[in-house]
Amino acid sequence: MARVCEVTGKRTQVGNNVSHANNKTKRKFYPNLHKKRFFIPSTGEWVVMKVSTTALRTINKNGIEQVIREAHAKGRLRHIKLA
């Protein structure tokens, strides 16, 4: 499974390691992802999502149901349905 946040859409980025001699080699920057369980009160069920720490802050601020609706509208969440 890809390393992509289901809420924000953050994914792996590519950059360079730069040595003291200014040699450049390719490297990857991975998003800070966590698998997390969330309870959705309207449906009464638990949902497991792979989210970044930025998304966790957004969920704490706006609530899980609003965040799921917005992510679903943007086409990021297809496997979670709200009533």
> 39-51, pLDDT tens digit by residue?
999 999 999 999 9
Mean pLDDT of 22-49: 95
Q: What is the pLDDT of residue 75?
A: 87
83 confidence band (pLDDT: 50, 70, 90): low
- The total of structural domains in the chain comes to 1
Whose tokens are 């969920």? That residue is: 59
Residue 25 lies in a domain: yes
Residue 21 lies in a domain: yes
3-class DSSP state of 65: helix
Residue 19 lies in a domain: yes
| pTM score | 0.84
Higher pLDDT pick, 82 / 38: 38
Residue 44 lies in a domain: yes
Residue 4 lies in a domain: no
Q: What is the pLDDT of residue 76?
A: 85
78 confidence band (pLDDT: 50, 70, 90): confident
Domain carrying residue 42: 13-73
Residue 24 lies in a domain: yes
Q: What is the pLDDT of residue 79?
A: 79
Residue 83 lies in a domain: no
Outline where DSSP puts E strands in 1-83: 13-18, 24-29, 33-40, 45-52
Residue 5 lies in a domain: no
Other Cβ atoms closer than 10 A to 40: 16
Q: What is the CATH number of the domain that holds 64?
A: 2.30.170.40
